[in-house]
Amino acid sequence: LIGVRGRAVPVLPWVVLMGTLKKSQNKLEEAFLRSLRRAIARSRPVVIVADRGFGRTALFEFLPTLGFHYVIRVTGKVWIRCPGYEGNWCDYQLSLGQPFKLSQVLYHKTKRHRLKLALTCALIKGKISSWLLATDWPLSARQIVDIYRRRFWCEESFRDQKQEFHLESVRVQLARRLENLLLALAIVFLLLAVIGIKAENLGYAIKFSARKKGKKMLSWIQVALHLLRESTRFLNLLFENMAAGFSLHWV
């Protein structure tokens, strides 16, 4: 999934049987990343953003070999060593406030890997939440945290898929059929992204969006769907008015 203005567009859907996943998850992850590398030009900078289930040293070492950067949240039980501290990250004293960065960190007690860590502690929906974000990028702590926040755009896109396409009611018996369905959905999302973002740039979003505290309340996917339900002529946004954003073109 690639984050785009508050939502995420799928670019490489894979379907894996649960039995296969349990046996060789690490190999599957690396095979997927190799496939993703082939799908994206090396001239495009790519940052892999992931949650705590992917905080393994081998992955941190593998991603740069593909030319990928990463911002990955790691578990509180991990051992770290940095100037002035050695021990489990969960025992590191944090207070609510601005995020900060540790630039010279040894990660993992036995499989040691040198990286950078961004740490933040915030009050989210009434609960204290602490993040430890591993990265190889020379960015500020605030920039690293802002990149990681985009992971939550995926949740919004999953909600769109359920509400707009009723995927929760879809049942398939074969993995390849599910993969075909997800591929078709990825194409649909790409088309909606082109229409919706261009519509926002051209000011169409105002037609449908209620505003709350100065912010629009509709995402680009909802704007695109509203336009297409009103008239199929808005499909022309896929190909017209290059100055308004980006377009598709036949090759």
What is the token pair recorded at 183? Answer: 């591929």
Number of domain units in the chain: 2
Residues 91 and 207 placed together within one structural domain of the fold: no
Side-chain-side CA neighbours of residue 167 (13 Å): 13
Q: What is the largest CA-CA distance in the chain?
A: 63
CA 65, 40, 190, 16 dihedral sign is negative
Residues 53 and 109 placed together within one structural domain of the fold: yes
Residues 193 and 218 placed together within one structural domain of the fold: yes
Last residue of a domain, one of 103, 126, 151: 151
d(CA 150, CA 64): 21
Residues 108 and 192 placed together within one structural domain of the fold: no
DSSP state string for 154-185? HHHHHHHHHHHH-GGG---SSHHHHHHHHHHH
Residues 50 and 167 placed together within one structural domain of the fold: no
Is residue 221 in some structural domain? yes
Residues 169 and 238 placed together within one structural domain of the fold: yes
Is residue 174 in some structural domain? yes
pLDDT tens, residue order, the chain (251 aa): 677 777 878 788 877 777 766 668 888 899 989 999 998 888 888 999 998 888 888 999 999 999 999 999 988 788 888 888 888 877 877 777 768 788 888 888 888 888 888 887 766 666 767 788 889 888 888 888 888 888 888 877 777 777 777 777 777 777 788 888 888 888 888 888 888 888 877 777 666 665 555 555 677 777 888 788 877 777 777 666 554 445 554 44
Residues 142 and 186 placed together within one structural domain of the fold: no
d(CA 251, CA 223): 28
SS3 at position 76? coil
Tell me how far CA of residue 9 lies from CA of 41, 160, 167, 190, 212, in angstroms.
17, 11, 16, 6, 25
Residues 108 and 188 placed together within one structural domain of the fold: no
What is the token pair recorded at 23? Answer: 């046996």
Is residue 109 in some structural domain? yes
Residues 23 and 91 placed together within one structural domain of the fold: yes
Last residue of a domain, one of 124, 151, 178: 151
Print the domain residue range for 227.
Answer: 157-244
d(CA 12, CA 18): 19
Last residue of a domain, one of 84, 118, 151: 151
* Amino acid symbol at 225: L
d(CA 60, CA 160): 31
Tell me how far CA of residue 99 lies from CA of 54, 141, 190, in angstroms.
22, 6, 34
Residues 24 and 137 placed together within one structural domain of the fold: yes
d(CA 3, CA 47): 11
Residues 52 and 164 placed together within one structural domain of the fold: no
